[in-house]
Structure 1
C-alpha cells in the first residue's frame, strides 16, 4: 500500500464524497462549496481542512497558487442535466461541469472524479459529453463514464450516480471500476428499527417488517425549491409503501403514545428524522450536520454516499500507486 494522495474537491456539500475519498487515501488541499451551512458542516467535522466558501466559478482562473493535485473531485449539480422540466445544460447558471473542465485545464491533475445525475448520459446531452471529452482528449487523458448504484456498495438506498473518471493513459490502463460488494441494500426497517425504538415505541418491530425494502432515492436537496420533506408526490407514495410519512421530517422518533396504523395514511406512520436520513445516505452517526432542520436535510439529501465514493476512490488510488490498494 502506497502513501496518501492530495485532492481538491468542488461542490463538496455535506462532505460525503470527501469523506469516502479520505477513507480511500486522499487528503484534500482545498474543499470548496458556496453554501454557508455546508461549509460550517465541513469545518465542524474536519477543522484541518482548508474550506473555501465561494462560488467555484470564481476559483477557476484565480491566483490560488496551487500547481497541481493528484485528484480533482467533486459533485456537479444535477439540475442542468435533469430529464424533467426545462434544462439548459452548460448554459445553466448552476452548471459546474464546464468550470470543472476549465480547472482541470489549469491544474492538469493525475486523475479526475466527477459525480452527477445519470441523465447526463441520455441522448439529449450528447453534445455536452462530446465537449467535455474533446477537452479531456486535448489534455491527453483517457476517460470513462459509468453509472453505479450505491445500494450495491452497502448503502440502504436505491441511488444511481453518473461518474466520470479520467486519468493519464498509463494510469488509466490500471484503473477498473469497483465490483459490487452487496447484492442489494439493506431494508429501511433493518437499518432504522433500533433508532425507531429509541423512545420506547412499542411498534418498532411491526414497523420494520413493513419497511421491507431499500429506501427510494433520497431527494429534496434543491437550494431553490422544496423544504424538509422527502420529495415530490411519486416519491412520497414510495415512502408510504414503506410505512413512512414523507410529507415532512420529524423532530424526533415516535414515543410510546404514537400508534402505528397505516390505514390512517400518513397520520398513522412515522416520519424520519434528519439523523435517520443520514443513515440511509451512508453517512456516519458521528458526522455533524449544521443548521436548522431544512438546511440540514438539504445538505444530507444531496450527499454522495461515502461508501460508494470510497469504493471508487480506492480503485483510483490503486491506479495512481501502480499497484493494488
Structure 2
C-alpha cells in the first residue's frame, strides 16, 4: 500500500476535524436527555473515539463538557443495546436503567431484560439489584419511596463525612495568626454539631461510643468564641482524630477474621484503584516504593505485589492502606536480605535520583545516596525474570557513561539482556513535563525478543493532556468557576513536580525558574493550599496536594497517610502511575507472550466505580 503524501494527510486531518465538529455539535445540542438521546450521543461519541484514538478523554472533557466516565456510559449503552433500541423505547425504559444494564455482565443483563419484557417498570436502583443478582424475589426489592429515602440518606451522610474530613484538614494545617480561618473553622463545626448530636444519641442506645471523643472535640470547637480557644480546640480535635481507639488497636494487632473463622495477622486492601482487569498471575517485588505511584500502575497492569520495600514510615502507612500490611516491608534497601518470597517475575523500583539530578552536584556513583549497587545485589539474590528501574534523565548524561556501562555489565554477567532509554511522561497521558530514564532487563531471551520499547502512547506526544484538562473538575469541586483566562493559562503541560527532598521543611513549587513557570500558569508560587478554591475565590490558585496528585496520575482514591508535607513528598517523588501501568503491560506481554489491551482496564475501573460485578472468570491463572 502506497504511503500517503503530506497533502493527503493534511486533507485527511481536516476532514476528521470537520467531522469532529459535527459530532461535538450533536452531543452538546441535546438538552434534557431521554433514552433516544442517549443512543444518539453514544453513537456520536463512539465515532469520535475512533477518530481521536488516544485523545478522546481530553476532547470529550474540554470540547463537550462531559466527564469521561459519563461518556463511557453513553458509548457502552450504544455499543451493547443499539440492536434492541426500538424495543427499549417502546417499553419506555429510563436512560439510567439502560446505562446500568449495558454495563452489566451478560447474565445480569439478561435478567434485567427479562424483567422488562414481563412488563415491569424498573428504576435504576431496581436494575442495579437485579444485575448484581442480590435479590431472587421481587418482594425483596424496596418500594421506590424507601429507595429514594435511602439514596438521600446516603448522599447526606457522605456530605457530613466529607465536611468532617475538611474540618480536620483545616485544623491540621491551621495558621494560628489567621483570624478569618479560625472563625470559619468554628462556624463549620457549629454546622456539623446537630448531626453529631443525633449520632451520639443513636450510639448511646446501641452501646457504641468509639466516636464520642471526636464528637466532643467538634462540640468544643463549635462553642469556642475567642481565637485562643478556637486554636486550642483545633489542636485537641487533631490529637483526638489521630488517636486510635482500643478496639482499632486490638483489630490491628489481631488482624482480620478469615473465612474459616481464624484470625489472620494481615488485612486485605479495600482500595479499588489497585484492582486490575488482567489476571496473568505475574508477581512483583518493589524497592524504594515511596508513596506507591509505580506500585499503583503495576497493580493496574495485573502484577501481584509480594513485597513493597520502603524505609520511611509515612509512605509505608500509605502502602499499608492501599495494599494491606502483609505486603509492606518497612526497612532500608541497604543490606536488606529477602525472606522466602517465592519466584519473582518482576523486580521494580525507583532508586534515589539525587546523585544524578541536574539540580544537584551529580556526584553519581560517589554519592552515598546511590542505591544502584544495592538494587543489583537484590537482583542477584532474587533472580527475577524481569527488572525495571527508573531514575532521572540525568543518569544518561555523558558524565555517567562509565557508571552506566558498569551497571549494564553487571546485569549481563547475571544473564540479563537490557534496554535503557529516556521517555517523557507527558507522552503517556500525564499532564506534566517529566523525563525519566527507564532500565528494563529480561533473563529469558524469548521474553527479551517479545519486548517492545514504549516511547509514547496514542497521540499524546502530539496532543498531550493539559493541566487545565486534568484539574478543572477539581477546581470546580467546591463551587469555584475558573475563568476562561485562567484555563487558557493552564492550557499546557505543567513543569516537573519536585519537592521530595527530606531537607525541605515545607511544600513548594521548586526553584525560582520553575516557580515562575507555575506562576505564569495561574498558581501562587510561594504559598500552599489545603483544598480546592471555594465559590468566592478570586485570583490565582493555591496549589494543593490533591492537585499535584492528579498531575502525577495517582488514582483518585489513593489513601495517602501523614502530615501534608509528608504527603507532598510522597507525591513529588513518585513515578507517574499511568506510565508504570503501560510499561507494566509491555513487560507482562513479553513475559507471557499474550496481548493486553489497556482499554480493558478503563472498562474494568468504570464497572467497579458503578459497583457492577464483572463476569465470573475461571480461577485458573491465565
TM-score by length of 1: 0.92
Partners in 2 of 1:202 and 1:110 — Cα distance? 51
User: In structure 2, what is the equivalent of residue 220 of structure 1?
Assistant: 499
Equivalent position of 1:103 in the other structure: 378
Partner Cα distance (2:326, 2:590) in 1: 25
Alpha-carbon separation, structure 2, partners of 1:87 and 1:118: 12
Alpha-carbon displacement from aligned partner over 1:104-154 (angstroms, at most 9, x marks no partner): 111111000000001001111112111111111101111010111111111
| Bigger radius of gyration | 2
Is 1:25 aligned with 2:302?
A: yes
Runs of 4+ in 1 over 3 A off after TM superposition: 202-206
Provide the rounded CA distance (Å) in 2 between the counterparts of 1:207 and 1:312.
34
**Structure 1 Cα separation of the partners of residues 289 and 452 of structure 2:** 24
Contact 1:19–1:306, Cα closer than 8 Å, also in 2 = yes
Q: Identify if the C-alpha distance between structure 1 residues 158 and 184 changes in structure 2 by more than 3 Å, giving closer, same or farther.
A: farther
Higher RCO (CA-CA < 8 Å; seq separation 6+): 1
SS in 2 for 1:57: coil
Which residue number in structure 1 is paired with residue 334 of structure 2? 57
Question: Structure 1 residue 85 and structure 2 residue 360: aligned?
Answer: yes
SS in 2 for 1:283: coil
Which of 445, 453, 457 does residue 180 from structure 1 map onto? 457
* Structure with a larger share of its residues in strand: 1
Q: 1:136 aligns with which of 397, 411, 416?
A: 411
Looking at secondary structure, tell me which structure has more helix per residue. Answer: 2
Kindly state the Cα deviation for residue 166 of structure 1 after the two structures are TM-superposed. 0.3
In structure 2, what is the equivalent of residue 275 of structure 1?
546
For structure 2, the 5+ residue unaligned runs are: 1-277, 597-622
Cα contact 1:2–1:321 (8 A) shared by 2: no
CA-based RMSD of the aligned residues comes to: 1.7
Count, aligned residues:
315
> Secondary structure of the residue that 2:335 maps to in structure 1?
helix
* Unmatched 5+ stretches in structure 1: 261-268
* Structure 1 contact 197–204 (Cα < 8 Å) conserved: no
Give the direction of change, closer, same or farther, for the CA distance of 1:67–1:191 in structure 2 (3 Å limit). Answer: closer
Superposition deviation, residue 291 in structure 1: 1.0
Cα shift readout 1:253-278 (whole Å, capped 9, x = no counterpart) = 22233322xxxxxxxx1112111111
Q: Aligned partners of 2:436, 2:338: CA distance in 1, in Å?
A: 32
Distance 2:475 2:517 in 1: 19
Deviation at residue 279 of structure 1 after TM alignment:
0.5
- Report the TM-score when normalising by structure 2: 0.49
1:248-263 equivalences under 5 Å are: 248-260=527-539
Distance 1:170 1:98 in 2: 27
2-structure distance, mates of 1:284, 1:300: 12
Q: Where do residues 1-325 of structure 1 align in structure 2 (5 Å cutoff)?
A: 3-47=280-324, 49-59=326-336, 62=337, 64-168=339-443, 169-178=445-454, 179-181=456-458, 182=460, 183-225=462-504, 227-260=506-539, 269-325=540-596
- Give the C-alpha shift of residue 99 in structure 1: 0.5
